[in-house]
Amino acid sequence: EDEEVKRSLVGFMDKLAAGNVGRDQSWGWNKSSDPCNDKWIGVSCDTLSKSVKKVVLDELNLTGVLDIGFACKASSLSVLSLHSNNVVGSISEEIGNCKHLTHLYVSGNQISGHLPESLKQLSNLKRFDISNNNFSGEVPDISQISGLITFFAQNNQLTGEVPNLDFSHLLQLNISNNNFSGSIPDVKGRFSADSFSGNPGLCGELVSKPCPPTPPSKRKSNHSSIKRFFIYSGYAVLGLIVVLFVAFKLVSKMKPKDDKEAVETNTSRRSYKTSTTTSNESKIAENKSEYSISSVESGVALSSLVVLTSPTGQGLRFEDLLRAPAELLGKGKHGSLYKVMLDNGVTTLAVKRIKDWSVDSEEFKRRMKRLDQTRHPSVLPSVAYYCSQQEKLLVYEYQPNGSLFRLLHGSQSGQAFGWESRLNVAAIVGEALAFMHEELGEDGIAHGNLKSTNILFNQNMDPCISEYGLMVFQTQDLSFDFQSSKDALDHAAPTYGSFKADIYGFGVILLELLTRKPVHTNGIDLARWVHSVVTEEWTVEVFDKALISQGASEERLLNLLQIALKCINPNPYERPNMNQVAIKLPDSSGVFYKKSLLNAIGSTIGEVVKVDDNTKNGLYPQYTFNFRRYDHFNEACSLEKSNVENFGKHILEKVNTKKDSSAIGKDAFGPSRIVTKHRKRRPIWKDITNGKNFENLG
Ligand SMILES: Nc1ncnc2c1ncn2[C@@H]1O[C@H](COP(=O)(O)OP(=O)(O)OP(=O)(O)O)[C@@H](O)[C@H]1O
């Protein structure tokens, strides 16, 4: 780091740790050493630029004063985390200098004062947690930070209206126990009353407290329109009741006949039965398929397919599934998996049939509902499910590019799966898992069966976690390394074991990425093998030789190995939680950022006409663009590198060498705009999930 930054950081720590008896030499943070080369405690650096990227000083009993100004002298700082210390002071306007900040975590301290206006300038901010402090005053308008996904500010003394946030993109919100007042805005059905409770001045439907009527002066002008509105609504409601009544009568008359026809037309293939258990109304409400079906195995009439909110499932009926040809993809420990191509010739689904499910039907339905509400772009959502006493079926979108297991250990395992790609998989999966654990911690829903066959690649070769929440961890499933802690876990809540088993599973995935060795070979367990090699100080031996020959830095390999070893600690109580793991992983947002920027450039200047998916060979995809705006310039430009900025320059060079500026037109972008215009805009989850729809970015 450069001298000035180093001095500021030392100043930052001196203030923060003032009077901290626990601080010793081993922490670093002094002028005679370097934060990156000498590994100051809590500091992570960018390996190329050797500049400070993350400062994580959680639970260190720090009791001094926070001086953000000093910290933000490290201009590439992306994560600042001071969870659970006893730090005082305030967040000053100088935080605006932390332009690259993506995560700000200061919860559980004694920080007070107003939030600075310059927060608005943190356009890269994704997660913001100031909960459990003494902040007061109003929250500045940060609605422009569209990449913000977490906003936690509970248990402070904040006042004014509910912060103006981009609710359609925010994934986590908690502003409970403050002094906010006024009406709760439309949160797009994404948050419940819990996010707002403990603010006596708040009103609105969500907190079941009607807002006071608008003052008479305002009301008067609206009076006649309100009156008219009520009169017409009255008529409308009356009309609707009549229509529903008639429809109900008609449907109940026609229904037995319809079902009979259905049974008759389908008996040649499978046997269908009408449901006598559910009323028509509840069928509509639960979005169930039209037909109920007898169990595939036993022929007993049971409940029907429940279609969830994912767009792929809309209109899906059980009979569509049964009519379609199914190909058995594999039989795992917990059931079989079928690839099902629907009649429409477009939709391909993967149907998991679970046997011996240890959870009762009610619990299963509760899980499915919670999982449907908890979306992350890198977690494959279930499209629909079927639940009977005898069996459960889970429907997912089919993912065409196989699993991480196949990529690492499949038949073409000779092919390159580069270091950067492996780091990206680790980062994306780690962040997604941390998100799910945080969201579903209270519901006790962990993945339960995390392994490389459950990490799938979608059509863009982005990894996603599949089958989240389907299994409940049982101590008899413990692998060798768990045995020593079996007793301890037997006495802990089962859900605790599930979350800790996920951490273990993630650690094993990291080991697979680092070693390219399967989890079990000839009776040898990968985790045990790595442990034994590391304790005998043959550490370098564990790494995949291909990584070393590709020039992966030993330091980064060792860092990732350290994380993996913590995750597979035989004692589950000593394993970190997923948030602690994710924060240590390389930053995955860069991956999303590059991808969406590519798409942004594409949609602005032309069309992506071809994508060569080289990812299987360990390369980035190659995009070929046709320029829309520059008609005379109708050549394609391709990009082989991951480096988007070079790509921007490359396009501009081409445009500029044409020297025919009149043909480019008035609205052509100036040289810096293609790159910088989109640079400020971080991708939002929706952009990432729907890779083709990037118009808004333009
Ligand atoms: N949605 C999907 N799209 C494409 N392939 C999938 C999908 N889900 C699973 N697969 C693949 O199908 C194969 C069989 O899956 P299955 O879940 O039955 O096996 P498993 O994960 O090895 O075992 P289990 O989950 O029962 O412990 C695996 O190789 C898996 O990667």
pLDDT tens for 472-510 read: 766 544 444 445 555 555 555 556 778 888 999 999 999
> Quick one: average pLDDT of 178-191?
84
The binding site consists of 352
The answer, yes or no, to whether any atom of ligand 1 lies below 6 A from the CB of 491, is no
d(CA 295, ligand 1 centre) in Å? 23
At 395, is the pLDDT very low, low, confident or very high (cuts 50, 70, 90)? very high
- Per-residue pLDDT, 237: 67
- State residue 228's pLDDT score: 58
- C-alpha of residue 474 to centroid of ligand 1, in Å: 20
pTM over the 0.80 mark: no
Best of 404, 409, 453 for a ligand 1 pocket test (most atoms within 8 Å of beta carbon): 453
**Three-state SS letters, 118-146:** HHHHCCCCCEEECCCCEEEECCCCCCCCC
**Please, are residues 679 and 649 in contact by the beta-carbon 8 Å criterion?**
no
- Would the pLDDT of 215 be above 80? no
The CB of 403 under 6 Å from ligand 1? The reply is yes
Mean per-residue pLDDT, 99-125: 91
Q: Which residues pair with 307 in a beta bridge?
A: 384
Q: What is the whole-number distance in angstroms between the Cα of residue 263 and the centre of ligand 1?
A: 33
Quote the CA–CA distance of 430 and 586 in Å, as a whole number. 10
Atom of ligand 1 at shortest range from CA of 397? 1
pLDDT at 287 over 50: no
- The DSSP output letter for 475 is G
Binding site for ATP: what residues are annotated? 352
Atom 14 in ligand 1: which residue has the minimum CA distance?
Answer: 330
pLDDT (mean) for 145-158: 88
DSSP 390-401: S-EEEEEE--TT
Query: What residue owns the CA closest to ligand 1's atom 25?
Result: 332
| Radius of gyration of the chain measured on its C-alpha atoms | 28
Which atom of ligand 1 lies closest to the CA of 335? 26
Residue range 608-626, pLDDT digits in tens = 545 555 544 544 445 555 4
Return d(Cα 56, Cα 606) in angstroms, integer. Answer: 42
Identify which has the larger pLDDT, 4 or 299: 4
Gap between the Cα atoms of 373 and 290, Å rounded: 23
Q: What gap in Å lies between CA 153 and CA 148, rounded to an integer?
A: 14
Predicted pLDDT of residue 87: 92
Structure tokens of 271? 């046997």
| Atom 24 of ligand 1, nearest CA residue | 332
Indicate whether 548 pLDDT > 50: yes
Task: Assign 90 a pLDDT band (cuts: 50, 70, 90).
Answer: very high
Beta partners for residue 5, in sequence order:
none
Residue 359 CA to ligand 1 center (angstroms) comes to: 20
Residue of 327, 337, 383 to test ligand 1 pocket, by largest number of atoms within 8 Å of CB: 337
Q: How confident is the model at residue 667 (pLDDT cuts 50, 70, 90)?
A: very low
Q: Which residue shows structure tokens 């001095």?
A: 7
Most confident by average pLDDT, 13-17, 32-36, 454-458: 454-458
User: Is residue 563 very low, low, confident or very high in pLDDT (cuts 50, 70, 90)?
Assistant: very high
Who's near 598: CB < 8 A, 6+ residues apart? Answer: 623, 639, 644, 647
The atom number, within ligand 1, closest to the CA of 466 reads: 8
Grade residue 155 by pLDDT with cuts at 50, 70 and 90: very high
DSSP bridge partners of 294: 301
- Structure tokens of 230? 């009520």
pLDDT per residue as tens digits for the range 219-270 = 444 555 555 555 566 666 666 766 676 666 666 555 544 433 333 333 323 2
Q: Is 396 in the pocket of ligand 1 (CB under 6 A)?
A: yes
Ligand 1 nearest atom to the CA of residue 349, by list position: 1
**Dist CA 47 CA 54 (whole Å):** 12
For the stretch 119-124, contacts whose Cβ atoms lie closer than 8 Å and that sit 24 or more positions apart, written own/partner, are 119/95, 120/144, 120/145, 121/96, 122/95, 122/96, 122/98, 123/99, 123/147, 123/680, 123/681, 123/682, 124/78, 124/99, 124/100, 124/682
- Who's near 431: CB < 8 A, 6+ residues apart? 378, 582, 585, 588
Mean pLDDT value across the chain: 72
